[in-house]
Amino acid sequence: MLISKIHLPRRTVLRALGATVGLPLLDAMIPAGTVLARSAGLTTPCMSFVYFPHGAVMDQWTPRSTEGRLDEKLPQILAPLAPYHKQLTVVSGLENRSAIAPPAHAITPATWLSCTPPAPPVNGVAPRAGVTVDQVVVAKLAQATRFDSIQLATEVEGGEGASDRIYGAAYAKTISFRAPSSPLTMEHDAGKVFRRLFGQDEVATARRHRAGPSILDLVRQDAADLSRKLGPRDRAVLGDHLEKVRGIERRVQAPGPVAFDEHVELMFDLMTLAYETNVTRVATFMLAAEVSNQSYEFMGVEDSFHALSHHGNNPAKLERLTEIQAYNTRLFAKFVSRLAATPDGEGSLLDHSLIVYGSNMSNSNLHDHSDLPMALLGGACGKLTGARHVRCPEHTPLANLHVALLNKMGVPTEAFGDSTGELAL
């Protein structure tokens, strides 16, 4: 498709006092005379790291397919991702030795994306760990975005998360470190995330959030002015986008506690919206906390997540744990479906994404950090081929995958963490 309309800057927003509403990619944002598929606005991918705790029941995660080929029939935990088989790569055999230490849960999250052993805080000194791969890639992807990255969670406040007498709680409540002594806070409050993405003035937007009026009321005139300049297709895209923003805003403002599944879906919707509006290109999300006491009674499983993860190889407990892990994958698959359904030039957000979905533990009963459950989704702007099962030799460092991911994202890397080379993807 050849674009012949006038050029509208990609960073165009609807702006008013206390509100900034980003826009999706419009035809008018592609320079005149440019072939849409080759436009500069589509060459920067999105990168997501979605972490789940307590590993996986590995015989219900690991595909039976041979090396290099991924069968369309997936095991129970991965089965919700079957519709995206052509953009799914499962990697088996990875190990993270940096997570092997006596405080099993307390250092597991923070070492997933760093592959660097953390140091115990001494005399109140800030925690010291490795810079995580998401923050390494930020320098490449954050040059034209409002935020270099966002960090999300569902339960990192109120006592959830592992803590250790020596290591404390800092390493368990985040998977993202900007610098060795700079852990990034994972935000669990969807309202705060919404206000951050769409508000300039935190005080004003917080006051408006309590009062209830929509941010769209503030930018209504700006939206009308812009709409008059757009072609019919762009006007329709803009209208649909504003409805989507309003729908999420209503959910954020809804009174009362939010159910776990609704909370997860809301966070995923905010991630999708952040990518669609080019607010950021990098996001991390802790789907649940280590030592999560989340109950799944709504699906007939009364045990808390963490208690069930210590299954003692009891078949009934393993079956219930598998059900929980498959349910979490279903929630994740909805996020993947939203990306697949969101146009992004000559393709979708999923085509232009590289998503890492996995855990830093495999057999939760043994607190095992080898043969980790790891899956990759998306096309990474044509740099990632799906429908693959990559079987690594036993004890291959997880960091070898991170080296490959960085190179896929255009960050030339030879070594990272305790890597011994680059994993072939």
Span 308-318, pLDDT tens digits? 999 999 999 99
Distance, CA of 30 to CA of 39 (rounded, Å): 7
- Structure-block tokens of residue 108: 């597991």
Residue 244 lies in a domain: no
What confidence tier does 159 reach under pLDDT thresholds 50, 70, 90? Answer: very low
* Pick from 168, 162, 70: nearest CA to 123: 168
Residue 5 lies in a domain: no
What confidence tier does 38 reach under pLDDT thresholds 50, 70, 90? Answer: very low
Higher pLDDT, 245 or 103: 245
CA 6 to chain centre: 34
Number of C-beta neighbours around residue 288 at 10 A: 24
Prediction pTM value: 0.93
Beta-strand ranges (E) seen in 96-202 are 150-153, 177-179, 182-183
- CA dist list (Å): 307 to 55, 113, 372: 13, 25, 20
Determine the structural domain holding residue 54 and report its residue range. Answer: 46-193+259-408
Segment 30-39 shows an average pLDDT of 55
φ/ψ of residue 397, rounded to 5: -60, 135
Asked if pLDDT for residue 35 goes beyond 70, the answer is no
**Length of the chain, in residues:** 425
Asked if pLDDT for residue 285 goes beyond 90, the answer is yes
What confidence tier does 44 reach under pLDDT thresholds 50, 70, 90? Answer: confident
Residue 123 lies in a domain: yes
Residue 351 lies in a domain: yes
Residue 264 lies in a domain: yes
Residue 142 lies in a domain: yes
- Structure-block tokens of residue 257: 């506690």
Distance, CA of 49 to CA of 193 (rounded, Å): 17
Exposed, middle or buried: residue 102 (CB in 10 Å: 0-12, 13-18, 19+)? Answer: exposed
Asked if pLDDT for residue 153 goes beyond 90, the answer is yes
Asked if pLDDT for residue 56 goes beyond 90, the answer is yes
Residue 359 lies in a domain: yes
What confidence tier does 158 reach under pLDDT thresholds 50, 70, 90? Answer: very low
Asked if pLDDT for residue 4 goes beyond 50, the answer is no
One-letter amino acid identity for 240? D
User: Would you state the pLDDT for residue 144?
Assistant: 77
What confidence tier does 325 reach under pLDDT thresholds 50, 70, 90? Answer: very high
- CA dist list (Å): 90 to 73, 77, 111, 189, 397: 13, 12, 20, 31, 16
- The tally of domains found in the chain comes to 1
Residue 215 lies in a domain: no
- Structure-block tokens of residue 136: 């390494």
Which CATH number fits the domain that encloses residue 68?
3.40.720
Segment 357-375 shows an average pLDDT of 96
User: Would you state the pLDDT for residue 18?
Assistant: 74
